[in-house]
């Protein structure tokens, strides 16, 4: 008699996938304009100070602080300095009209805001406050100094980070190559939207939703995606499609066909072309999961193509992609951090039927900032992830009562 397979904790599965993601993808140099959402593969070291010179933090008057130690001091305005210009030295009794970002002239040790000043005659200014040395002056290098490591390898580039690189004069950056992913689905019961009208669907037929959201999730994870269609429930056809896809892609992602049913041909087909690890995950939804490698010849000389098989139920497929496939793709691109972030939140629901598996309950925030539970947590109810704005990460055997603090993960934090 076969003993039931032990359930694999999520952390163990993630650790295995991180190990399997070695070696990482190659890198390429890309114009800084185009590196958003790419993983940086070099440290960005500053070759300059930021700001590069002492400059004014506001519109006003550059003065010698020692000249403005009493209220109402009157100074002679001898120059006007705009951003991009430069001025001459400020001496005793003088002030320079200055604008935000303009270089502070030699001799000036403070900038007084224009609202704290009054014009005095044709060329004078009365200062209505006292000045402190350094007031409203942004000092050269106070943000970044020469030699600072501003961005480190493994960071995901964001608009602010690419802007920072550009501010240091970096025209291009070394980033990871985008993963090339072949997307399949399996099952003779699946029908693509447009192939037939809903009223013409026969018994047992369903529209294929998984390929649509998986392709979108892959693109948002930085991948170049090839939709390879639906594989018929046939061993020879499955082997042919997998072999064809492996030649030009880094990863093959399938949905459905990773269970042990006699009509599921993914397992023996992957095994015929390489190796396969089947896991029963200790999570709900999303118990069945498979990782493998296809040892088929590749034009770029890569030793193998990764394979991941997701469960066929829509919510299971969706959640396991977020929990496992997205981190795997990040590690494959050299990212140093692929962890999702928990936010402590109050539950506005009871969950009294604790499961032995770790549960990811679909929820959304209400107007009071507490979490409401979608009433149907079935793995086939895609409505739950449309209605919800995240999940509660609930430990095994844990019940939840109204008012309890729970671990909340937003879909937004997962899906850029």
pLDDT value of residue 207:
55
Between residues 319 and 195, the one the model is more confident about: 319
- 28: its two tokens: 């390429």
DSSP assignment string, 20-51: HTPSPP-EEEEEGGG-TT-BB-S-EE-SS-BS
Same domain, 325 and 374: no
DSSP assignment string, 311-340: -SSHHHHHHHIIIIIHHHHHHHTT-S----
Is residue 78 domain-resident? Answer: yes
Same domain, 356 and 406: yes
Is the per-residue pLDDT at 344 higher than 60? yes
pLDDT value of residue 416:
67
Alpha helices in 120-209 (DSSP H): 159-167
Least confident stretch, 19-33, 188-202, 331-345: 188-202
pLDDT digits (tens, 9 = 90+) for 130-166: 999 999 999 999 999 999 999 999 999 999 999 999 9
Is the per-residue pLDDT at 180 higher than 50? yes
d(CA 161, CA 157): 6
**Spatial contact of 237 and 243, defined as CB atoms under 8 Å apart:** no
d(CA 359, CA 23): 32
The whole domain housing 254 covers 10-26+178-332
pLDDT value of residue 262:
45
d(CA 156, CA 85): 36
Mean pLDDT calculated for residue range 389-401: 97
pLDDT value of residue 371:
98
Number of DSSP helices (H) and strands (E) in the chain, helices first: 9, 26
Is the per-residue pLDDT at 212 higher than 90? no
d(CA 106, CA 90): 6
What confidence tier does 74 reach under pLDDT thresholds 50, 70, 90? very high
Same domain, 159 and 111: no
**Spatial contact of 37 and 156, defined as CB atoms under 8 Å apart:** yes
DSSP 8-state code for residue 202: P
Same domain, 155 and 116: no
Is residue 338 domain-resident? Answer: no
pLDDT value of residue 414:
87
Same domain, 64 and 207: no
Backbone φ and ψ of 96, nearest 5°:
-120, 125
d(CA 203, CA 6): 36
CATH number, domain at 171? 3.90.105.10
What confidence tier does 204 reach under pLDDT thresholds 50, 70, 90? low
Same domain, 39 and 167: yes
Q: Who's near 194: CB < 8 A, 6+ residues apart?
A: none
CATH number, domain at 362? 2.40.340.10
Same domain, 317 and 372: no
- 175: its two tokens: 């980033």
**Spatial contact of 131 and 68, defined as CB atoms under 8 Å apart:** yes
User: Which among 124, 159, 176 is the end of a domain?
Assistant: 176
Same domain, 123 and 204: no
Looking at the DSSP assignment, which residues form a beta bridge with residue 8?
281
Same domain, 81 and 188: no
Is residue 183 domain-resident? Answer: yes
Percent of the chain at pLDDT > 70 equals 92
d(CA 75, CA 55): 20
Is residue 240 domain-resident? Answer: yes
pLDDT digits (tens, 9 = 90+) for 214-272: 999 999 999 999 998 887 778 888 899 999 999 999 999 998 766 655 456 788 899 99
User: Which among 113, 138, 163 is the end of a domain?
Assistant: 138
pLDDT value of residue 263:
53
Please identify which residue in the block is written with the tokens 């962890």.
339
d(CA 87, CA 196): 75
Same domain, 259 and 323: yes
Residue 11 has a CB neighbour count (10 Å cut-off) of 10
Is residue 1 domain-resident? Answer: no
DSSP 8-state code for residue 69: S
pLDDT value of residue 298:
76
Is the per-residue pLDDT at 4 higher than 80? no
Q: Is 222 helix (H, G, I), strand (E, B) or coil?
A: coil
Same domain, 182 and 320: yes
Percent of the chain at pLDDT > 90 equals 77
Same domain, 259 and 199: yes
- 345: its two tokens: 């939140």
Is residue 115 domain-resident? Answer: yes
Between residues 212 and 29, the one the model is more confident about: 29
Calculate the average pLDDT of the chain. Answer: 91
pLDDT value of residue 336:
86
Q: Who's near 22: CB < 8 A, 6+ residues apart?
A: none
What confidence tier does 1 reach under pLDDT thresholds 50, 70, 90? very low
> How many separate domains does the chain show?
4
CATH number, domain at 127? 2.170.190.11
Residue 12 has a CB neighbour count (10 Å cut-off) of 13
d(CA 86, CA 103): 6
pLDDT value of residue 297:
75
d(CA 70, CA 128): 8
Q: Who's near 295: CB < 8 A, 6+ residues apart?
A: 273, 274, 275, 303, 304
pLDDT value of residue 194:
66
DSSP assignment string, 177-195: PPPEEEEEEE-TTEE-TTS
Residue 333 has a CB neighbour count (10 Å cut-off) of 27
Is residue 224 domain-resident? Answer: yes
What confidence tier does 395 reach under pLDDT thresholds 50, 70, 90? very high
pLDDT digits (tens, 9 = 90+) for 5-45: 689 999 999 999 999 998 889 999 999 999 999 999 999 99
- How many Å is the Cα radius of gyration of the chain? 30
Backbone φ and ψ of 137, nearest 5°:
-115, 125
Least confident stretch, 140-149, 181-190, 266-275, 400-409: 181-190
DSSP assignment string, 50-64: BSSS-EESSSEEEE-
Is residue 5 domain-resident? Answer: no
């Amino acid at each position: 008699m076969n003993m039931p397979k032990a359930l694999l904790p999520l952390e163990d599965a993630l650790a295995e996938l991180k190990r399997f993601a070695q070696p990482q993808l190659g890198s390429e140099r890309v114009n800084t304009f185009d590196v958003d959402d790419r993983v940086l593969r070099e440290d960005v070291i500053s070759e300059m100070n930021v700001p590069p010179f002492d400059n004014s933090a506001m519109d006003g008057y550059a003065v010698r602080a020692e000249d403005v130690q009493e209220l109402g001091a009157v100074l002679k305005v001898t120059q006007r300095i705009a951003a991009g210009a430069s001025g001459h030295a400020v001496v005793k009794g003088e002030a320079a009209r200055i604008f935000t970002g303009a270089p502070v002239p030699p001799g000036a040790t403070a900038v007084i805001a224009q609202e704290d000043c009054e014009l005095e005659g044709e060329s004078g200014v009365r200062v209505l406050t006292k000045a402190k040395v350094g007031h409203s002056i942004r000092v050269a290098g106070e943000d970044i100094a020469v030699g600072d490591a501003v961005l480190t390898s493994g960071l995901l580039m964001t608009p602010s980070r690419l802007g920072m690189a550009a501010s240091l004069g970096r025209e291009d950056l070394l980033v990871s190559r985008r993963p090339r992913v072949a997307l399949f689905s399996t099952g003779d019961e699946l029908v693509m939207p447009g192939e037939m009208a809903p009223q013409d669907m026969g018994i047992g037929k369903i529209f294929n939703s998984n390929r649509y959201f998986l392709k979108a999730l892959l693109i948002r994870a930085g991948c170049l995606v090839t939709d390879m269609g639906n594989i018929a429930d046939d061993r020879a056809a499955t082997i042919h499609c997998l072999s064809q896809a492996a030649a030009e892609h880094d990863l093959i992602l399938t949905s459905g066909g990773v269970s042990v049913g006699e009509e599921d041909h993914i397992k023996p087909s992957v095994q015929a072309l390489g190796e396969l690890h089947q896991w029963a995950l200790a999570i709900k939804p999303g118990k069945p999961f498979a990782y493998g490698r296809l040892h088929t010849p590749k034009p770029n000389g890569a030793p193998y193509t990764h394979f991941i098989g997701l469960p066929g139920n829509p919510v299971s497929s969706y959640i396991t992609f977020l929990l496992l496939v997205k981190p795997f793709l990040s590690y494959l691109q050299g990212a140093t951090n692929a962890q999702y972030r928990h936010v402590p939140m109050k539950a506005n629901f009871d969950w009294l039927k604790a499961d032995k598996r770790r549960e990811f309950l679909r929820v959304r925030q209400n107007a009071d900032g507490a979490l409401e539970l979608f009433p149907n947590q079935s793995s086939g109810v895609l409505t739950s992830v449309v209605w919800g704005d995240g999940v509660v990460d609930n430990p095994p055997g844990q019940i939840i009562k109204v008012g309890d603090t729970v671990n909340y993960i937003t879909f937004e934090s997962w899906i850029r």
